Amino acid sequence: MTACSAAPDGAPEAGSQATAPAAEQKAKAVLTVTPSSGEGISPAGPFEVGMIGGALTAVVLTGADGRVVKGELSAGRWVATEDLGYDKAYTWSGSAKGEDGTDVPVTGSFRTIKPQRLTGAKLNVGDHQTYGIAQPVKVTFSAPVADKAAVQKSMTVTTSVPTEGAWAWLSDQEAHWRPREYWKPNTEVSVDVGVYGVPFGGGAYGASDLHVQFKIADRALVAKANTQTKRFEIYRDGVLLHNFPASYGMENDKRAETRGGIHVVQQKQAARTMTNAVFGYKDIPVTWAVLISQNGEFVHENNNTIPKQGKENVSHGCANLSGANAKIFYDLTMLGDPVEVVGSSQPLQASDGDYYDWAFDWATWTSKSAATS
């Protein structure tokens, strides 16, 4: 009988196969190109190239006109840093190398959406501006929006302090965002209307994005206008600063009665003329005019009604103050400050124009959202 001899240390047993250590095994290169092909691609992207089991060496995305799309290569991924154009063809090129030494080409081509029409948008707030605590955000579109849910999803409001708020569609062309309660002073607000490449419905797409940053004032100024006591009170941070006699819209004509509810300061003019064909006057000069409703309601000077101020409502809807008192309010107030009118039998409503946002209770306001979540 022949004795079996032991295999030398480190040698495989008979019938077994040697395998390389796991650390030495090379992963197969996998390249991902988004999108690699297709028609009707959104020009807003994303457009990116990634690599698993290797590294990108070069990535180029080129338009049919020869223009190279800007992008960044970082952490093994290339990402376009700009939007593409509508109804344009693009081609991928470049290369990558797998860990196993394999050369992998970056290839592919696609074409972006061809819209039937483009819809523009504009905002009511200005970049780096400051507003009062009642200021709503309004996006006005150049045409009616059919797919409100898709458009609303692309619009965001970000605040520096926790702020409960919501979008509401007040018409087919207007979406407003307001907080549930007045803004907190010193809140910083960022509004992003990212509608480029977004379907608006009916073949329409967003023409361009909008981005605005603004701030809420460092004080909470609130005017309280009481049409029954005929007083106009000004509060700052809850403290009463002034209590002026005033005259409001005469109550024997509902067309002239000052509308009740929370108005928002929208414009200031040191001097202007007033015209109202319905009530038969034209180009009447006034000073310290503060517009609080698009229906033509102002807080302004009217020295002619001083004998009536605090006693009788004789205006055609405006709040009349003496020249000295009107200037005090004019100097204190800014766009976005609330003027709370109480005592009127006629509420502020849609027919009065911007802004009647605060006329809605919160449940009604949120019911006007197009959110589908």
Q: Which of 176, 263, 300, 316 is catalytic?
A: 300
Residue 11 has pLDDT above 70, yes or no: no
Do the Cβ atoms of 106 and 81 come closer than 8 Å? no
Q: By C-alpha distance, which of 46, 51, 178, 158 is closest to 102?
A: 51
- DSSP states of 150-207: HHHHTEEEEESS---EEEEEEETTEEEEEESSPPPTT-EEEEEE--BT-EEETTEEE-
Closest CA to 93 of 51, 63, 60: 60
- For residue 6, is pLDDT > 80? no
Using alpha carbons, list the distances in angstroms from residue 193 to 20, 196, 231: 55, 9, 41
CA distance 224 to 241: 11
Distance between CA atoms of residues 348 and 363, nearest Å: 18
**What local confidence, expressed as pLDDT, does residue 25 receive?**
61
Q: Report, as an integer, the average pLDDT of 204-230.
A: 98
How close are the terminal C-alpha atoms of the chain, in Å? 82
**4 annotated active-site:** no
**Which of 91-105, 188-202, 298-312 has the lowest average pLDDT?**
91-105
Selection from 164, 294, 298 nearest residue 223 by Cα: 298
Q: CA torsion, points 309, 313, 314, 320, in degrees to nearest 10?
A: 50
Contact 155/137 with Cβ under 8 angstroms? no
- One of 176, 263, 316, 318 is an active-site residue; which one? 318
User: How many whole angstroms separate alpha carbon 316 and alpha carbon 251?
Assistant: 9
Is 346 within 8 Å of 259 (Cβ atoms)? yes
The pLDDT tens digits of the residues spanning 245-294 come to 999 999 989 999 999 999 999 999 999 999 888 888 889 999 999 999 99
Q: The whole model's pTM is what?
A: 0.87
Which tokens in the block code for residue 346?
A: 């006629």
| CA separation for the pair 10, 21 (Å, rounded) | 14
Burial class of residue 17 (count of CB atoms within 10 Å of its CB; 0-12, 13-18, 19+): exposed
What pLDDT, in 10s, does the model give residues 77-96? 999 999 999 999 999 999 99
174-204 tens-digit pLDDT:
999 999 999 999 999 999 999 999 999 999 9
d(CA 335, CA 333): 7
Q: DSSP 3-state assignment of 346?
A: coil
Specify whether 318 is catalytic.
yes
Residue 20 pLDDT: 44
| Radius of gyration, alpha carbons of the chain | 33
The CA distance from 152 to 65, in Å, is 34
DSSP-H helix ranges across the chain: 148-153, 323-332, 362-367
What is the separation of C-alpha 235 from the centre of its chain, rounded to a whole number of angstroms? 29
Query: Cβ distance 292 to 265 under 8 Å?
Result: yes
How would you classify residue 229: left for phi > 0, otherwise alpha for psi between -120 and 50, otherwise beta? Answer: alpha
Percent of the chain with pLDDT over 90: 84
Tokens 């007040």 locate to 170
